[in-house]
Structure 1
Amino acid sequence: MKVEELTAKVLQDNPNMDRYQLAIAVAKRCDEIENGATSKLNVNTASIKSADLALMEIAEGLIVVTGFTDSKEK
C-alpha cells in the first residue's frame, strides 16, 4: 500500500487525529525502530524504511497513538 493510502486510512480511522499528530507519532515510532525496537509486523523489514514501517504499524492498529487532547474539548 502506498504511503498516501496508509495516511488516509489512519486519518479516516482516527477522526480526532490530524496529519500533524500523525507525523509526530510516526517520527516517535521511527526513532524507536531505529534504536532497536522490533517491528510488530510479520514482514521482512530489511528493505522497508523505518518511517514507512512505523506508518504501516499505526495503520494496522498495532501501535496505538495516545496522549493528544482535542483542543475543542474543555
Structure 2
Amino acid sequence: MDTLRTEEIAAKALKRVHNDRYLLASLIFERVRELGEGAKPLVDMDVKIHKLPDIAMREIAEGKVELTSIEDKE
C-alpha cells in the first residue's frame, strides 16, 4: 500500500466503515489519541516521520483497526 496516494488510502478507509464519514473521523480521532499516548503503529510507518492521522488512516485502510477494537477499550 506504500504506492497509494492519500486519496486512495482515504477511499479504502472510508469503504471499510461503509462510507460513513462521521464514523471514519471518530475512528481516526480515537486511534490518533492512542498513538499519541504511545501505542505502536500497526503498519510500517514511523511516528517520528509520519503524521499520526496518516498512520491511523493507513491502519484503517489496511483493516488493522476496526471499530470493535476501539469500542472494547471503553
Matching residue's letter, 1:6:
I
Q: 1:3 offset after TM fit, Å?
A: 2.8
**2:67 corresponding residue in structure 1:** 65
Structure 1 segments unaligned to the other structure (5+ residues): 68-74
Q: Which runs of 5+ in 2 are unaligned?
A: none
Asked which structure has the greater CA Rg, the reply is: 1
Q: Distance in 1 between matches of 2:6 and 2:25?
A: 12
Q: Does the 8 Å contact 2:35/2:52 carry over to 1?
A: yes
Instruction: Return the match for 2:11 from 8, 11, 31.
Output: 8
TM-score, with structure 2 as normaliser: 0.74
SS state at 2:48 partner: helix
Q: What corresponds to 1:72 in structure 2?
A: none
TM-score (norm 1): 0.74
1:42 aligns with 2:36: no
Say what the alpha-carbon RMSD is for the aligned residues.
Answer: 1.7
Output the amino acid matched with 1:29: R
